[in-house]
């Protein structure tokens, strides 16, 4: 299969990722941060190395501010619900994933107000609208770094400046960009950074990360054994134990660490350029097909390697089905868990057929995808 | 290393578990329940097969009532906080892990009362005390199936009957027993069953399960993309999507499924008998050493394969350190995240040295452990 569904999860992973998972399971498969015997200590070092790699990639000072979660969704829930209290106001955008919108809708019940900034039909956000929406009780701004529907990149640097000027916390959902784009929590004024471990970071599924800037009090939502202050029946507030109760996904984190090492070796620039080239080549090819409507900016410099299309009025699921069955190409049709983004670009009923490329895709993959789309267009 | 820390996580895993993890990652590493292409469907089938295996092992009717979590701690938090409301009363025991006690202490802040039944110095629970503690507002009884400190098995069958008679929900923490003891949610009247995937079930770390009896409304605490009802900004209430937002740990669940298949092939009886024999042999050996104090029932029929000891007044961590450094034996000293259990057995200051055996331990491992303990006794 030609796998063009990297926005859902990256595939394949670097060989070193598979090896790290199995090496951990077979050789140091103990419980980290507990016990104290050699195997447990080695498992603990694996986890700590993972935190250090995250620090290196995002210019984070202190590895203890890196919290491992089971996915980006958990990281986003933790940040949003851990920050917002009754009477607070949160600003977000119409291009967000349900992992941002649904928690924000949930806390409405607790008396947390929200403003959802409308993006334009290409998914672009005007940062001035963010600034205009700020109220005296605005506590948090949440934006995705790149839309999972159109790939549209959000101006996080400008938003970070606005947030800082107004003393508002800034949470970035980097699910689509971590490991591909340069994100610097310090210069970008990011207070909270949520990401998936299994997309651009090339780790296994079951991993996610939340970076919390030092000094920010995020309420935890799970209590349990932390291997620290075990005599107390109250959850310890030390970092990162506060947020990591129970046995972590050690093999997953070992794999994620290997994924980040691979990224650091290759270099973010090289990875991003490759994905940009594929995206650009794909968009140019699509532009020649009259029956194809391309959404978003249609500019690889302004979007992550995610391209959403439709073929005339055909149901996106139908096209996805044909691409799979007839052409052995894996894409994702439908709403991509981001209904407001689809309303924004005008595809709430039809959905879109989403092509998303990864570092291991080749120009030949794109040629075959273009050929398949052309073929479908001719049949319709 | 001789690994005797299976109560923290089982090691090694059956070969099929490693293979399943890698097979999933290398061949079907797509996002399950999303997309719809061949690889995604295969990943989805992997998850569904996991639910079916859990059903088979615990006599659960409907695979959709099986919720995958990242560990037992998450499953317990979900059950405890998802059930209890202001004004409710919950009953638990003094032998519980912090993954039960800390969430219960947390919800005290929300006006949830609790009664913690005192067990005797061997960790035994008198179920009559549970019945006596029931009040008109008692909504939930939570007990571990076996203590992670002394291995003491709790009379879940009797407690289940009491709960049913009084119309109270019964949550069992099977972290130490799932995959080793016969647990039947139907005949044991268990409404909610929480377990780790990486202990007796032989799966990878990063996996846990919560079974929820049909018709019980458990509040979810995470919202996000579920791949279902994507057009709605409110979390869908369908099972099990309600509780499984975001990308699951598919390779972990693939490994867990292989672990359960291994258990079903070997047979629970064979596994339990082997662990009972090792436990019994170890206890008999210890009884000959005058300086050793053994905690709990000292009866392999009444305890899981967990044995806590101390050597005179020596610090448990010191003994754990010597076992590791000098004898290359991995155990867990300290409080094991269960402070009330240690208060119950009188070891809150000293902690205990915990030996916990798994299916892959041998009599020779036990001989070496006994030899090491004897040696340490002679040096003191």
Helical axes B72-83 vs B98-108, angle rounded to 10° = 30
What integer pLDDT is reported at residue A278 of this predicted model? Answer: 98
Chain B hits for A306, CB-CB cut-off 8 Å, are none
Judge contact between B129 and B91, C-beta under 8 A: no
Q: Do A208 and B246 touch (CB under 8 A)?
A: yes
Alpha-carbon distance A276 to B365, whole Å? 56
Q: Is B213 in the same domain as B299? A: no
Q: How many Cα neighbours within 13 Å face the side chain of A82?
A: 21
Is B76 close to A224, i.e. CB distance below 8 A? yes
Give the rounded distance of the alpha carbon of B131 from its chain centre.
24
Would residue B3 count as lying in a domain? no
Q: What is the pLDDT of residues A69-125, one digit of tens each?
A: 999 999 999 999 999 999 999 999 999 999 999 999 999 999 999 999 999 999 999
The answer to whether residues A374 and B265 touch, using CB atoms and an 8 Å cutoff, is no
Q: Are B194 and B72 in contact (CB under 8 A)?
A: yes
8 A C-beta contact, residue B319 and residue B353: yes
Could you give the CA distance from residue B377 to residue B371 in angstroms, rounded to a whole number?
A: 10
Q: What is the mean pLDDT of residues A146-166?
A: 98
Identify the domain containing residue B326 by its residue range.
268-379
Residue B252 lies in a domain: yes
Q: Is A331 on the interface with B (CB under 8 A)?
A: yes
**HEC string for A295-337:** CCCCCCCCECCEEEEEECCCCHHHHHHHHHHCCCEECEEECCC
Question: Which of the listed residues B201, B236, B266 is the one where a domain comes to its end?
Answer: B266
Nearest to B250 by CA among B104, B98, B78, B47: B47
Q: What DSSP element (H or E) covers B169? A: strand B169-173
Mapping DSSP to helix (H, G, I), strand (E, B) and coil, where does residue B2 land? strand
Residues B349 and B234 in one domain: no
Distance of CA A368 to the CA centre of its chain: 27
Count of C-beta atoms within a 10 Å radius of residue B374: 16
**Interchain pair A233, B102: CB under 8 A:** yes
Question: Residue B97 and residue A225: Cβ atoms within 8 Å?
Answer: yes
* Residues 6+ positions from B171 with CB-CB distance below 8 Å: B76, B79, B80, B83, B140, B141, B142, B143, B190, B191, B192, B193, B194
**pLDDT confidence of residue B36:** 86
Report CB contact under 8 Å: A336, B230.
Answer: yes
Give the separation between CA A284 and CA B184, rounded to whole angstroms: 60
- CB-based contact B143:B114 (threshold 8 Å): no
pLDDT tens digit string along B152-169? 999 999 999 999 999 999
Locate the chain B residue with the closest alpha carbon to A20.
Answer: B22
In a domain, B117, yes or no: yes
Q: Which stretches within chain B are classed as H helix?
A: 15-27, 38-58, 72-83, 98-108, 127-133, 156-165, 250-266, 268-287, 316-325, 339-345, 363-379
Residues A102, B232: Cα–Cα separation, whole Å: 9
**Contact, A89 vs A114, CB < 8 A?**
yes
Chain A residues whose beta carbon lies within 8 Å of the beta carbon of residue B250: 205-206
CA–centroid distance for A20 within its chain: 22
Residue A329 half-sphere exposure toward CB, CA atoms < 13 A: 26
A91 to chain B nearest CA, in Å? 16
DSSP letters, B301-333, are TTB-SEEEEEETT--HHHHHHHHHHTT-EE-EE
**pLDDT reported for residue A286:** 98
Contacts of A337 in chain B (CB under 8 A): 34, 224-227, 230
Cα separation, A309 vs A164, in Å, equals 37
Alpha-carbon Rg of chain B, whole angstroms?
21
User: What pLDDT, on a 0 to 100 scale, did the predictor assign at position A36?
Assistant: 86
Q: Look at chain B and report how many structural domains it folds into.
A: 2
Q: Do B1 and A36 touch (CB under 8 A)?
A: no
Using an 8 Å Cβ cutoff, are B294 and B152 in contact?
no
Contact A262, A17 (CB under 8 A): yes
Residue A163 and residue A170 in contact, taking contact as beta carbons nearer than 8 Å: yes
The mean per-residue pLDDT over the stretch B317-339 comes to 96
Residue B183 covered by a domain: yes
Sheet holding A292-294, edge to edge: A292-294, A306-311, A352-356, A332-334
User: Which whole number is the average pLDDT over B340-351?
Assistant: 96
In a domain, residue B333? The reply is: yes
Judging contacts by C-beta atoms under 8 Å, the chain B residues touching residue A102 are 223-224, 233-235, 245
d(CA A253, CA B206): 10
Last residue of a domain, one of A266, A291, A312: A266
For residues A182-189, average pLDDT: 98
Examine the pLDDT at B337 and tell me if it is beyond 90.
Answer: yes
- Give A298 to chain B, closest Cα distance, Å: 23
Half-sphere exposure of B53 (CA within 13 A, CB side): 27
Residues A300 and A216 in one domain: no
User: CA–CA separation, A155 vs A1, rounded Å?
Assistant: 35
Q: What is the mean pLDDT of residues B27-53?
A: 93
CB contact under 8 A, B332 and A35: yes
Phi, psi of B143 (to 5 degrees): -140, 150
Residues B189 and B323 in one domain: no
Q: What is the pLDDT of residues A250-286, one digit of tens each?
A: 999 999 999 999 999 999 999 999 999 999 999 999 9
Mean pLDDT of chain B: 97
> CATH number for the domain including B340?
3.90.1150.10
Contact A102 B324 (CB under 8 A): no
Which of B37, B103, B222 is opposite residue A74, by nearest beta carbon?
B222
Asked if B23 and B128 sit in the same domain, the reply is yes
**Residues B167 and B309 reside in one and the same domain:** no
Please give the residue of chain A at the shortest CA–CA distance from B316.
A35
Say whether pLDDT at B314 is over 90: yes
Q: What single string gives the DSSP state of each residue in A187-244?
A: TTT-SEEEEESSSTT---TT-EEEEE-TT--PPP------SSSTT-SS----TTGGG-
Do residue A72 and residue B246 have CB atoms under 8 angstroms apart? yes
Task: List, in order, residues 6 or more apart from B284 with CB less than 8 Å away.
Answer: none
B263 closest CA partner among B11, B72, B16? B16
A272 and A262 together in one domain: no
Q: Which of A238, A266, A294 is the last residue of a domain?
A: A266
**Is the per-residue pLDDT at A35 higher than 80?**
no
Task: Write phi, then psi, for A191 (nearest 5 degrees).
Answer: -90, -35
Residue B8 lies in a domain: no
pLDDT of residue B236: 93
CB contact under 8 A, B70 and A37: no
Q: Is residue B209 located within the same domain as residue B293?
A: no
Cα separation of B229 and B217, whole Å?
19
Give start and end residues of each alpha helix (H) in A3-148: 15-27, 38-58, 72-83, 98-108, 127-133
pLDDT band at residue A157 using 50, 70 and 90 as cut-offs? very high
Per-residue pLDDT at B319: 98
**Which residues 13-32 of chain A have a CB within 8 Å of chain B?**
13, 17-18, 21-22, 25-26, 29-31
Instruction: Give the Cα-Cα-Cα angle B48, A249, B4 (nearest 5 degrees).
Output: 105
pLDDT at A33: 77
Residues of A in contact with B222 (CB under 8 A): 73-74, 77, 103
Task: Tell me how close the Cα of B287 comes to any Cα of chain A, in angstroms.
Answer: 25
Query: Are the Cβ atoms of B8 and A105 closer than 8 angstroms?
Result: no
Residues of A with Cβ-Cβ distance to B97 under 8 angstroms? 224-225
Q: Is B152 found in the same domain as B92?
A: yes
B10 belongs to a structural domain: no
Measure the CA–CA gap between A97 and A195, rounded to whole angstroms.
13
Looking at the structure, do residues A236 and A317 belong to the same domain, yes or no?
no
DSSP readout, B245-306? -S---HHHHHHHHHHHHHHHHH-HHHHHHHHHHHHHHHHHHHHT-TTEEEPS---TTTB-SE
Contact A40 B330 (CB under 8 A): yes
Distances A133 to A90, A176, A254, B145 between C-alpha atoms, Å: 9, 26, 42, 53
Angle between helices B250-266 and B268-287 (to 10 degrees): 80
pLDDT of residue B166: 98
Cβ pair A246:B73 closer than 8 A = yes
- The mean pLDDT value for B219-232 works out to 91
- Cβ contacts of B34 on chain A, cutoff 8 Å: 8, 332, 337
Evaluate whether ipTM surpasses 0.95: yes
pLDDT higher than 90, residue B303: yes
Q: Tell me: pLDDT of B128 over 90.
A: yes
A262 and A272, same domain (yes or no) = no
Tell me: cis bond preceding B333? Omega within 30 of 0 counts: no
**What distance in Å separates the CA atoms of residue A134 and residue A138, rounded to the nearest whole number?**
6
**Residue pairs between chains A and B whose CB atoms are closer than 8 Å:** 318
- Exposure of A301 by Cβ count < 10 A (0-12 exposed, 13-18 middle, 19+ buried)? exposed
pLDDT at A34 over 80: no
pLDDT digits (tens, 9 = 90+) for B227-273: 888 889 999 999 999 999 999 999 999 999 999 999 999 999 999 99
Question: In the prediction, which pLDDT does B165 show?
Answer: 98
How far from the centroid of its chain's Cα atoms is residue B188's Cα?
17
Show which of residues 239-268 on chain B sit within 8 Å of chain A, judged by CB atoms: 245-252
Mean pLDDT of B296-309: 97
Is A205's CB within 8 Å of B247's CB? yes
Option in A11, A39, A222 nearest B30 (CB):
A11
Torsion angles phi and psi, residue B350, rounded to 5: -85, -25
If you average pLDDT over residues A207-220, what whole number do you get?
Answer: 98
CB contact under 8 A, B39 and A250: no
Nearest chain B residue to A253 by CA distance is B206
| B306 part of a folded domain | yes
Cβ of B339 within 8 Å of Cβ of A204? The answer is no
Q: For residue B228, what pLDDT is reported?
A: 83
The pLDDT of A345-368, averaged and rounded, is: 97
Q: Residue A366: its pLDDT value, please?
A: 98
CATH of the domain at B119: 3.40.640.10
- For residues B278 and B241, membership in a common domain is answered with no
């Amino acid at each position: 299969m030609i796998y063009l569904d990297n926005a859902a999860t990256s595939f394949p992973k670097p060989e070193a990722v598979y090896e790290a998972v199995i090496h951990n399971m077979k050789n140091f498969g103990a419980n980290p941060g507990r016990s104290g015997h050699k195997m447990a200590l080695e498992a603990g070092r694996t986890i700590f190395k993972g935190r250090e790699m995250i620090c290196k990639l995002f210019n984070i000072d202190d590895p203890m501010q890196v919290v491992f979660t089971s996915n980006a969704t958990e990281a986003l829930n933790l940040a949003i619900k851990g920050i917002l209290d009754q009477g607070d106001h949160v600003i977000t955008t119409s291009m967000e994933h349900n992992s941002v919108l649904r928690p924000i809708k949930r806390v409405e019940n607790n008396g947390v107000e929200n403003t959802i900034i409308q993006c334009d039909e290409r998914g672009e956000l005007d940062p001035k609208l963010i600034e205009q929406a700020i109220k005296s009780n605005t506590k948090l701004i949440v934006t995705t770094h790149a839309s999972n529907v159109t790939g549209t990149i959000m101006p996080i640097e400008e938003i970070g400046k606005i947030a800082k000027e107004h003393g508002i916390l800034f949470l970035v959902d980097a699910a689509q960009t971590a490991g591909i784009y340069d994100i610097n929590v310090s210069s970008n004024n990011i207070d909270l950074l949520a990401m998936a471990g299994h997309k651009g970071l090339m780790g296994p599924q079951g991993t996610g990360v939340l970076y919390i800037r030092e000094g920010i009090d995020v309420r935890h939502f799970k209590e349990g054994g932390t291997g620290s202050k075990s005599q107390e029946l109250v959850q310890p507030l030390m970092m990162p134990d506060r947020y990591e109760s129970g046995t972590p996904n050690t093999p997953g984190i070992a794999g994620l660490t290997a994924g980040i090492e691979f990224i650091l070796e290759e270099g973010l620039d090289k990875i991003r350029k490759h994905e940009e080239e594929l995206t650009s080549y794909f968009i140019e090819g699509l532009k020649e097909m009259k029956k194809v409507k391309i959404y978003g900016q249609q500019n690889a410099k302004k979007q992550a390697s995610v391209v959403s299309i439709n073929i005339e009025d055909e149901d996106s699921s139908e096209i996805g089905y044909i691409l799979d069955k007839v052409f052995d190409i894996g894409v994702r049709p439908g709403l991509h868990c981001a209904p407001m983004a689809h309303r924004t670009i005008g595809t709430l009923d039809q959905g879109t057929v989403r092509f998303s490329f990864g570092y291991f895709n080749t120009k030949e993959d794109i040629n075959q995808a273009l050929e398949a789309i052309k073929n479908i267009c001719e049949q319709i």
